[in-house]
């Protein structure tokens, strides 16, 4: 399975996907540490760079996992907590509903 590492830029005013695409994680991190010196990205007082590993399975299927988040000062940021219990509950309910139809 082939994967690439993509960098997304996010600020309160703007979102830019695929700012940079690297073949390995180290290159993506290196670029993220250099991007704050660029004028375009340094104009906003608060912004973040997100590194995702994107796997290309085939033409119709791909997935991505977040690897690292950098803030405007070049420090890593803790991943936000995402509560997926509601989604899991809905999946379970739909699964039970389909079993009842059989």
pTM over 0.85: no
Percent of the chain exceeding pLDDT 90 equals 0
pLDDT of residue 29: 85
CB atoms within 10 A of CB 21: 13
Mean pLDDT value across residues 1-25: 85
Q: How many Å apart are CA 2 and CA 61, to the nearest integer?
A: 12
22/31 Cα distance (integer angstroms): 9
Residue with the larger pLDDT of the pair 23 and 37: 23
Written as six digits, the tokens of 95 are: 């699964």
How many helices (H) and strands (E) the chain has is answered by: 3, 4
* Tally of CB atoms within 10 A around 7: 24
């Amino acid at each position: 399975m082939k994967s690439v590492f993509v960098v997304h830029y996010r600020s309160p005013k703007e979102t830019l996907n695929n700012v940079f695409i690297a073949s390995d994680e180290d290159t993506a991190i290196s670029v993220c540490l250099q991007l704050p010196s660029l004028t375009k990205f340094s104009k906003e007082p608060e912004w973040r760079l997100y590194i995702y590993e994107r796997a290309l399975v085939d033409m119709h299927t791909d997935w991505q996992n977040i690897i690292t988040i950098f803030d405007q000062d070049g420090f890593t940021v803790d991943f936000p907590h995402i509560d997926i219990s509601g989604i899991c509950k809905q999946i379970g309910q739909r699964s039970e509903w389909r079993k009842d139809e059989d």
